[in-house]
Amino acid sequence: MKLSSLGYLLKEGAKNIWSNRTMSFASVGVLVSCLLLTGAAVLFSMNIDSAMQSVEGSNTITVYCTQGLPTLKAVQVGEAIKDIDNISECELVPKDQAVEEMLEVLGDNGTVLEGLMGEDNFLPDSYRISMADLSLYDETVAQITSIEGVEKIIDYSEIADQLTELDDMVTTVCFWIILLLGVVSLFIIANTIRVALFSRRLEISIMKSVGATNWFVRVPFIVEGVIIGLVSGGLASLILNVAYDNFISSLSILSFFTPLPLDPYRLRIVLVFLLVGAGFGMLGGLISIGRYLKKDVGVLTTL
């Protein structure tokens, strides 16, 4: 294809979008929604993964003593825990320290806990322990719970399980929604281009009569689809970036959860969105024009 033809065809494709602007805007809207939802689901999943890694990486178990256990007894519980072979670390967290740590985590929101120091403190004493060999986890937990004065053990495998469950659920729901929106976007793009094809059937018939190849007829409509896809990809990545930045800043007061920073992924998101958008647009264009040309537009047939 000659360069002059390429320039002409690109211009024609761009003109198509403006001529069918209502349908083009609808296509952009649906594709942006689809990309946004995909992006949000992926970021959510990445955050869950990161949270799970930090939880699993800490390898810490909290052993709570019985509520109101005298301090001496609590120290004895600690000694008994340290006597277990598989315990590598065992640190006492007195109940006042636990309240202080909660206050630190909650920041300004923790004022309600300020009066709970000393005698009014309802939290039990606890121990943070680490195991030397995680393969002996179940046996070690059984030994700890058998110690008199131990109320319960909280490990993070439960939290990790819940996070995995949540991640799986979000992934499944998002997968179906994305699939549905993907099909809808493809359908709307294909229809937008079909409308453009219909409104330009006279031009196509003339093109064919003077010897245009099918590719020459196709290119403007593929360009139209790709432009719709690129605009959608650009818009979706912009919205996702801005929305996620706002999300991070609004969660910055929570010190127990640090959202994944977007900076290392920003460029990748933009590129992937542009690529996926353009791919969808091109596919929509190819589907429409393929079906239209298959019927071989008549040259002499009355339009």
Partner 1 sequence: MITFQNVSKMYPNGTHALNHVNLNIDTGEFVFIVGSSGAGKSTFLKLIMCEERPSEGTIIIGDTVVTDLKRRQIPYLRRMMGIVFQDFRLIDNMNVYENVAFAMHVVGASNKEIRRKVPYFLSLVDLQDKAHCKPAELSGGEQQRVGLARALVNNPKLIIADEPTGNVDPALSFEIVDLLSEINRQGTTVLMVTHEHSLVKHFHRRIVEIHGGRVVADTGKVEVR
- Binding residues vs partner 1 (CB under 8 A): 1-2, 4-5, 8, 202-203, 205-214, 216, 296, 298-303
Half-sphere exposure of residue 244: CA atoms within 13 angstroms, side-chain side = 25
Rg (CA), the chain: 31
Task: Report, in Å, the least distance between residue 211 CB and partner 1.
Answer: 4
- Torsion on CA atoms 98, 99, 103, 105, rounded to nearest 10: 20
291: tokens are: 């079906």
Task: Report, in Å, the least distance between residue 231 CB and partner 1.
Answer: 24
Return the number of the residue (19 or 59) whose C-beta is nearest partner 1: 19
Task: Report, in Å, the least distance between residue 292 CB and partner 1.
Answer: 15
8 A C-beta contact, residue 96 and residue 117: yes
Return the number of the residue (275 or 299) whose C-beta is nearest partner 1: 299
Return the number of the residue (133 or 296) whose C-beta is nearest partner 1: 296
Return the number of the residue (95 or 208) whose C-beta is nearest partner 1: 208
Among candidate residues 201, 231, 224, the one with its CA nearest the CA of residue 285: 224
Task: Report, in Å, the least distance between residue 288 CB and partner 1.
Answer: 19
Task: Report, in Å, the least distance between residue 263 CB and partner 1.
Answer: 46
Return the number of the residue (22 or 146) whose C-beta is nearest partner 1: 22
What span, in angstroms and rounded, lies between the C-alpha atoms of 230 and 236? Answer: 10
8 A C-beta contact, residue 69 and residue 77: yes
Return the number of the residue (264 or 294) whose C-beta is nearest partner 1: 294
Return the number of the residue (95 or 200) whose C-beta is nearest partner 1: 200
Task: Report, in Å, the least distance between residue 169 CB and partner 1.
Answer: 51
Task: Report, in Å, the least distance between residue 195 CB and partner 1.
Answer: 16
Return the number of the residue (153 or 195) whose C-beta is nearest partner 1: 195
Task: Report, in Å, the least distance between residue 294 CB and partner 1.
Answer: 11
